[in-house]
Structure 1
Amino acid sequence: MTDPTAITAGGAAGRPAPPPDPPAPETGAARRERLGHLLQHHGAALVLLGLVAFGTLAFDSFATGANLRAVTVSSAFLAIVALGMTFVIISGGIDLSVGSLFVLGGVLAAYGSRAGVLAALALPLAVCGTIGLLQGVLIGRLGMAPFIVTLAGLLGVRGIMLAVSDEGATTYLVEDRAFASLGQDGPFGLTWPVLITVVLAVAGVVLLQRTGFGQNVYAVGGNEEAAGLMGVPVVRTKILVYLLSGLLAGLAGALNAARLSSGVTILGIGLELDAIAAVVIGGTLLTGGVGGVTGTMAGVLLLGVIQNLINQVGNLTSAVQQVVSGAFLVLVVVAQRILSRTQRLT
């Protein structure tokens, strides 16, 4: 009688099971595709690390705590705006109104601070969120072009801000100390805007990567018609991303007003372009369907580090920073096109 324990997986008594087939060697095309994917999603972080290492070696004052703190604090407000822009661009849209919403949020927050901290936060969020919602309805429900709708928003919202501030002649001061403290030092040696930015970035990663809404955003940006055929709520998704962008722009403006203790009316000009640049540098494609929050945060810090390094030189003007940022953006877009073409070929 045959011992049952002698029967192997192959079914023959006493005969060992054949070893598993070795994994197929990775081809050159697969390696190139994997490298292209890595550079697409983490290229900004790699360049950021390189620039930080260069700045640390080249300038004694770069890696100091005070300087790094200044970079993070100055980048926090752009990061909040760029977070909302990330969702919009991944969905295949664009939002040119965020700069105007940013300055309007600051003015409304300073104006509302006379009634306390809740009013200082609720007023800009309500107004800017409503404007973002309206833009989303025009784009999602009526099918209007995002560029035209948000360009109208850029002009119209700044007009609202001028009306509220008497053509910019009135600068409202932040009168509530509790609200003003939101722009100042917080725990762990950081300011509250930086901590709020970190919390929002983590929430953005979870929302984009771990929820059905985030998957809908990717689907709409990748192929809107196919997403609709698969049952994705295209209209609702578009409305929500513009609502989110308006809320975050208003929040960033409110926090900046708390930091400055006033609603400055000359801010926000060109902020929408900086936000778009940070998102694109972070690996999000303007065509939609590809991108992420971590890349955007790396793009924001990269722009901040570039500006800081130029300031470290001392004899260069702000115009140089604009030229360098523009040239860097062009290089990133060209690299993205090459990487996308390489991945299609493989």
Structure 2
Amino acid sequence: MKHRWSGAGIGVVIALALLIAFGGIRYDGFLGSYNILTVLRYNSMFALVGLGMCFVIMTGGIDLSVGSVAAMASVVSAYLSPYGLLPGLLGGVGAGLVAGTLSGLIITKLKILPFIATLAVMLAASGTGLLLANNQSVAVSYDSAFTTLGQGNLLAAFKPEWIDGDNAGWMGTALGLFFNFPTPAWIALVAYIVGSVVLNARPFGRHVLAVGGGEEASRLMGLPTDRTVFAVYLISGGLAGLAGVILAAQFGAGQPIEGIGWELFAIASVVVGGTLLTGGKGSVFTTLAGVLLLGLIFTILNFENGMGWISLSAYWQSVVRGAFLLVVVILQSRLARTAPA
């Protein structure tokens, strides 16, 4: 039951640093503020579903429903957006919590395997989203402040004018990144800080890792096993709902089919970050590094397409994602066999 960084966790941080250095050297504008902020804004949604998936996988479970739940939540929040930011936010997160509650109850009360339970919830959420949206995108209201959750920059109003000047220098550039830091990225960052504190400094975090290390042993030790398992699926559903809110706010519409494949991105990010698929070991912040690593790989593919050396369609992202995940799982398996008992 470990929550310290593993070798794979350290490796993903090193790989992320090398990828950033490679991109900065090879591509003009790669380390420019526009590209950095765009990557952070877009990948904040994947960071949130990845965080929820991290807690689920640390218990030895899996949540296949996060993409469909996010899509459904985006539709709910879009319908509520005319009433303001708070109703849209609460509606989307609430939809995610309902889905997470359903998954948790099926797993803990009916004793259905997480794979089957969350597959059923995935299908239900997907169908619900399509029914609510009538199989089309649902436009959000721009008359309320709802879109600031996805398109806004939280501190932009406090940015000094000299930062945008021609002679701002490196300090002005750094401060510009800070004041222009996207609102969705702030949300994701706060979520990861809270998640890290919960995992490393609260009893719940120890319970999560204990359940992943051995559910039956945890039950014999008197730990609240079912409550812990239920809680991680509730967290995963709520974070997926929040990602759906940001999806609707960022793109201006609730999109009932947008979440396809998000669960695979989340699983890949968690595993690349060093969390074992068998549970009992993992780290919150290396999961974030895994999200950024995968996001940057796709950004580099786009930059490479722009240079004209290669021409890869968007479908290659799925190929790269699957191959990357397979390699990491194989490496994890080999390391687990050779690790001392």
What are the within-5 Å matches in structure 2 for residues 107-256 of structure 1?
A: 107-166=75-134, 168-169=135-136, 171-183=138-150, 184-187=152-155, 188-256=179-247
User: Given the superposition, is the C-alpha separation of residues 72 and 170 from structure 1 closer, same or farther in structure 2, using an over 3 Å criterion?
Assistant: closer
Q: Could you tell me which amino acid in structure 2 is paired with residue 93 of structure 1?
A: G
Contact residue 213 and residue 237 of structure 1 kept, 8 A = yes
Q: Could you tell me which amino acid in structure 2 is paired with residue 120 of structure 1?
A: G
Structure 2: gaps (5+ residues): 156-178, 306-310
- State how far apart, in whole Å, the 1-side matches of 2:34 and 2:194 are: 28
- State how far apart, in whole Å, the 1-side matches of 2:71 and 2:54 are: 20
Mapped pair 1:326 → 2:322: yes
Pairing partner for 2:252 from 239, 250, 261: 261
Q: CA deviation at 1:176?
A: 4.5
- State how far apart, in whole Å, the 2-side matches of 1:120 and 1:306 are: 32
Partner of 2:29 in structure 1?
61
Pairing partner for 1:287 from 278, 284, 288: 278
- State how far apart, in whole Å, the 1-side matches of 2:132 and 2:312 are: 37
Structure number with greater Rg is 1
Q: CA deviation at 1:173?
A: 2.2
Aligned to 2:280, the other structure's residue is in SS state coil
What are the within-5 Å matches in structure 2 for residues 64-79 of structure 1?
A: 64-79=32-47
What whole-Å deviation, never above 9, does each CA across 1:89-136 have from its counterpart, x for those lacking one? 001110001111101111100101122222111112222202211210
What whole-Å deviation, never above 9, does each CA across 1:305-341 have from its counterpart, x for those lacking one? 1001111111222233322222222221122122222
Deviates more, 1:305-314 or 1:54-63: 54-63
Pairing partner for 1:335 from 317, 331, 334: 331
Partner of 2:176 in structure 1?
none
Q: Could you tell me which amino acid in structure 2 is paired with residue 269 of structure 1?
A: I
Aligned to 2:147, the other structure's residue is in SS state helix
Q: CA deviation at 1:170?
A: 5.5
User: Given the superposition, is the C-alpha separation of residues 131 and 322 from structure 1 closer, same or farther in structure 2, using an over 3 Å criterion?
Assistant: closer
4+ long deviations beyond 3 Å: none
Aligned to 2:62, the other structure's residue is in SS state coil
Mapped pair 1:273 → 2:264: yes
Structure 1: gaps (5+ residues): 1-36
Q: Could you tell me which amino acid in structure 2 is paired with residue 199 of structure 1?
A: V
TM-score by length of 1: 0.86
Aligned to 1:286, the other structure's residue is in SS state coil
Partner of 2:166 in structure 1?
none
Contact residue 73 and residue 241 of structure 2 kept, 8 A = yes
Aligned to 1:238, the other structure's residue is in SS state helix
- State how far apart, in whole Å, the 2-side matches of 1:259 and 1:96 are: 24
Q: What percentage of residue pairs aligned between the two structures are identical?
A: 44
Aligned to 1:288, the other structure's residue is in SS state coil
Alignment root-mean-square deviation, CA = 1.6
Number of matched pairs = 309
What whole-Å deviation, never above 9, does each CA across 1:110-166 have from its counterpart, x for those lacking one? 101122222111112222202211210110122111011100111111111111112
